[in-house]
Structure 1
Amino acid sequence: MMQSAKLAKNEQARSVRVKRSIALDSMPERLFDEMAKQAKETCGTKTSSKTSSNRLLGKQRQWFKAKAAASKTLQARESAINAIESKSSVLSAILDDSASPIFDSEGKAIGTVLVFNDMAMQRQMAEELSYRTTHDTLTGLVNRDEFEHRLQKFINENRGLDLQNALMYIDLDQLKAVNISCGHSAGDALLKEVGGIMQSCIRNTDTLARIGDNKFAVILYQCDTAKAIAIAKKICRSIEAFRFMSNEQSFCIDASLGLVMIDKNWTSDTSLMRAADSACSEAKLAGRNRLHLYYDDHLTETHRSDVRWVSRIEQALEYDGFVLFCQRIMPLKHQGLEHAEILIRMKDKSGGFIQPDAFLPAAERFNLVSRIDRWVIAQMFEWMKVNVDSLSHIETISVNLSGQSLGDVAFHSYVLNLIETTAIDCSKLCFEVTETAAITNIAAAQNFIQAMNQHGVKFSLDDFGSGVSSFGYLNNLAVDYLKIDGQFITDLLENKIGQATVRCIAEVAKVTGKRTIAEWVESQAVENMLKEMGVDFTQGYLKHKPSALNSLLDKECTSFSQQLKAVALAH
């Protein structure tokens, strides 16, 4: 509270001096009167009307009086207060004030000018902007940036302390099915409802956030392992029991949950989120509505292996530690131009090469596989540009794309930029995607395929036949090749169901104008049966084991037409 200046002994003498000094005055202001009334109602401050036009505050003004001044009659200035923050935090939040003394011609202080600004509107706008910046606009939950900020702040504040807390990562499995069947507005409604369900399962002190299209995360504060597991299971049960209704359709929603206990050894929100994401992936692999607990101090061998592979993958990407191989795809019905699939290997310290089955699972779980895809495509574009005059005998070169890349718009833009800036014959390029990835990301797959088709790029659907709805999606995916899942090929001679499946796929492909490729072919008897069934191409160790990429450039030794001529001469 500001100190009052030394004033005249009575109010009448003071008013005379104010009039002589031509003190600052203004017309009556409704806003000032309303603030004065609010001050009176909020903190019990007494007010007194000023009716004389020569008074400091002017005609029909009010000033704030001390609580002791209970009388409505005019009070001395010594009883007035110049600031109200000490009386009410509510008012201090909406009012900004300043005070300046008034001096007469003799330099004596005779009063004070008080200026009050209503800050309610500005503060409301600032709060709304802050909310929009830190919250998801659809669900109203905390967004990813704010969540990671809170998580890192929490880690920093509790580093070295022996406290029990937890991080939960939640992935909804059926959102895309709802979007496809009922539209994105229905998917938005689903996210809001599921967000509310999860919010009801956690405590008021916990933080729930939406961190991706169908992904959520929770920080469970001061929560031991048993309590964290109980909350996670409650979320699982609640989502499992939930039925989403839209357009007279009912949808069951599945959720996979990864749980990481936060102890003093964690130092980064990035490593924590990766661990939780990895645990969530393990839960998804185990089945529907599952929880997987990730232990940092007692890692399973799989997790230890993943952590090691992540480091090696990042080093390989940084220091050119990958190398490309190729495997030819052989025609069964007629001779023609060659086909091949590009394969990746990691360089070993001993000079050998590591198969992709060893490191790709970890790359998938830790979201590194799209970076690998970018590396492969960049290398292939450069190789095709350099060898543009030596590829006339090649019809298609197939490059595998992961599901993560297929659903990533930024990746699509990356490939389009390469096509537009690199001088290659795109008609020789074929992107190979798994059936599961294409169906899971069907909208993104359709957009990407359409964009690539405009540049002549072809597509092959890998592992075809492994999904339960394989044939139903063919009309929606403009692919050129169907690569029959190898599980039907390995025991084709003995497996009657496998034989019927392969025949069916070959027949459907013929009707829809697509060509078929059978992978994992390792015996002549299997190849003969596939040819009789109407399959167009085979791929496997029977005809070609993976070799260095540049072997594709050796026309004389590798051209399949040359092999056919040799066979014909032998007979």
Structure 2
Amino acid sequence: MNITFMNPVAEKMTGWKEQQAQGQPVGRIVRISKGAGGPLIDDLLQFDINENLHSSVERSLVLHGHHTALFDVQLAVSPLRTLKDEPIGIVLVLQDVSKSRELMRKLSYSASHDLLTGLSNRGSFESSLKKALNLTATQRQPHGLAFIDLDHFKAINDTAGHAAGDELLRQISALMQENIRNSDRLARLGGDEFALILFDCPQEEGLATLQHLVDKINDFKFIWEGNAYRIGASAGMTQINDANITGSEYMAQADMACYIAKHNGRGRVYKYEPAQKTATAHTSGAIPPEDHQSGTEVSR
């Protein structure tokens, strides 16, 4: 396991000249970790090419060059043996795959994120919803599921143009992201429609968080080309507490609650309650929904 030969590419990647590396333990010259900040691998023989190792570990290997850069690498170890099958050394092959891995990371990001706002897209959000339902089924965790719809967004798009609308969506997305927990999942479903999963969150806490988001949006002043614009948000929330209900049903509940909030005064939060035939406004000045609508309003 001491180095006897290095080609010019190995010298460039490791940062060691062959004459400096000769006789040195391979682990001192070739420093490879699992991920850029992960632990160093102390047994390179596990990557014996004859063992056909193709694992998530292999796809995350990083070479730490000596006073040089970090390289994403693929690694193969070929044992050298005598005719009597006695081990006499190894050939260690490192391939720089930094560009291809960066491309794969970008493709993976694009497939799961909204490119305008950087939030999760609908497909990624639906995967998170499946995760929430699984946690409800296995650990009985309750979660909050909310739909958030911007008020008066079309007016800004029509008045100031689509570039202004895009910038507004970016700023509102950042505003909401700053006011939720790292464990929560915020997504842009399309247009000015957003969805939020509050993982492991009791109902009252979820409603308070959602109301805080709506208040932040209602108070937000958007500046574009010297002009100030005001928007608002309407939101509906349902509680995920029954794993027998499908994700699409929960999304329909949150969508319905958001629809009621938007069409009964806007700028407020509405809680979905399927068993309740009428709704009660908790504060003065709120517009009560029609008798056939189900839910409870939460408003400033």
TM range (shorter): 0.7 to 0.9
1:367-382 pair list within 5 angstroms: none
1:300 paired with 2:276, answer: yes
Unmatched 5+ residue regions in structure 2?
29-41, 48-56, 64-70, 280-291, 294-300
What's the offset of the Cα at 1:238? Answer: 0.7
Shift in CA distance, 258/29, structure 1 to aligned 2, threshold 3 Å: same
Shift in CA distance, 50/244, structure 1 to aligned 2, threshold 3 Å: closer
**Aligned equivalents of 1:171, 1:265: Cα separation in 2:** 26
Contact 1:64/1:81, CA 8 A, preserved across alignment:
no
What's the offset of the Cα at 1:152? Answer: 1.9
**Aligned equivalents of 2:81, 2:195: Cα separation in 1:** 62
Contact 2:134/2:243, CA 8 A, preserved across alignment:
no
SS of 1:208 mapped into structure 2: strand
Shift in CA distance, 119/63, structure 1 to aligned 2, threshold 3 Å: farther
**Aligned equivalents of 1:181, 1:270: Cα separation in 2:** 35
Partner of 2:62: 91
More helix by share: 1
SS of 2:119 mapped into structure 1: coil
Contact 2:149/2:194, CA 8 A, preserved across alignment:
yes
What's the offset of the Cα at 1:128? Answer: 1.1
1:436-455 pair list within 5 angstroms: none
Amino acid across the alignment from 2:62: L
Shift in CA distance, 62/202, structure 1 to aligned 2, threshold 3 Å: farther
Partner of 1:267: 245
What's the offset of the Cα at 1:156? Answer: 2.8
Contact 1:256/1:291, CA 8 A, preserved across alignment:
yes
What's the offset of the Cα at 1:95? Answer: 2.6
Partner of 1:242: 220
1:29 paired with 2:1, answer: no
SS of 1:158 mapped into structure 2: helix
What's the offset of the Cα at 1:35? Answer: 4.0
Unmatched 5+ residue regions in structure 1?
5-10, 16-24, 38-46, 52-58, 68-79, 304-360, 363-571
What's the offset of the Cα at 1:129? Answer: 0.6
What's the offset of the Cα at 1:34? Answer: 4.4
SS of 1:168 mapped into structure 2: strand
Q: Does 136-145 or 230-239 show the bigger shift? A: 230-239
1:131 paired with 2:141, answer: no
**Aligned equivalents of 1:61, 1:275: Cα separation in 2:** 68
What's the offset of the Cα at 1:220? Answer: 0.2
Shift in CA distance, 106/200, structure 1 to aligned 2, threshold 3 Å: closer
Partner of 1:194: 172
Partner of 1:227: 205
1:204 paired with 2:196, answer: no
What's the offset of the Cα at 1:281? Answer: 0.8
SS of 1:94 mapped into structure 2: strand
SS of 2:92 mapped into structure 1: strand
What's the offset of the Cα at 1:91? Answer: 2.8
Residue 255 of structure 2, aligned match among 277, 284, 300? 277
SS of 1:301 mapped into structure 2: coil
1:256 paired with 2:234, answer: yes
What's the offset of the Cα at 1:251? Answer: 1.6
SS of 2:164 mapped into structure 1: helix
Contact 2:136/2:142, CA 8 A, preserved across alignment:
no
1:20-169 pair list within 5 angstroms: 28-30=7-9, 32-37=10-15, 50-51=18-19, 64-66=25-27, 82-83=44-45, 91=62, 94-104=72-82, 108-159=86-137, 161-169=139-147
Query: Could you give the per-residue CA deviations for residues 297-326 of structure 1, whole angstroms, max 9, x where no partner exists?
Result: xx22269xxxxxxxxxxxxxxxxxxxxxxx
Contact 1:94/1:123, CA 8 A, preserved across alignment:
yes
Contact 2:237/2:258, CA 8 A, preserved across alignment:
yes
Query: Could you give the per-residue CA deviations for residues 197-250 of structure 1, whole angstroms, max 9, x where no partner exists?
Result: 111111111000000201001100111112111111111111111111223332
SS of 1:216 mapped into structure 2: strand
Contact 1:186/1:246, CA 8 A, preserved across alignment:
yes
Contact 2:210/2:269, CA 8 A, preserved across alignment:
yes
1:172 paired with 2:147, answer: no
Partner of 2:191: 213
Q: TM-score, normalised by structure 1?
A: 0.40
Contact 2:61/2:74, CA 8 A, preserved across alignment:
no
Q: TM-score, normalised by structure 2?
A: 0.72
Amino acid across the alignment from 1:29: P
**Aligned equivalents of 1:181, 1:230: Cα separation in 2:** 33
**Aligned equivalents of 1:259, 1:62: Cα separation in 2:** 66
1:456-495 pair list within 5 angstroms: none
What's the offset of the Cα at 1:66? Answer: 5.0
What's the offset of the Cα at 1:61? Answer: 6.2
**Aligned equivalents of 1:266, 1:81: Cα separation in 2:** 47
Contact 2:145/2:195, CA 8 A, preserved across alignment:
yes
Amino acid across the alignment from 1:156: N
Of all paired residues, the percent bearing the same amino acid is 31
Shift in CA distance, 82/275, structure 1 to aligned 2, threshold 3 Å: closer
What's the offset of the Cα at 1:266? Answer: 4.9
SS of 1:154 mapped into structure 2: helix
Contact 1:64/1:82, CA 8 A, preserved across alignment:
no
Residue 181 of structure 1, aligned match among 122, 147, 159? 159
What's the offset of the Cα at 1:168? Answer: 1.0
Shift in CA distance, 147/63, structure 1 to aligned 2, threshold 3 Å: farther
SS of 1:159 mapped into structure 2: helix
Amino acid across the alignment from 1:91: V
Shift in CA distance, 129/61, structure 1 to aligned 2, threshold 3 Å: farther
**Aligned equivalents of 2:174, 2:27: Cα separation in 1:** 49
Amino acid across the alignment from 2:276: T
What's the offset of the Cα at 1:135? Answer: 0.2
SS of 1:264 mapped into structure 2: coil
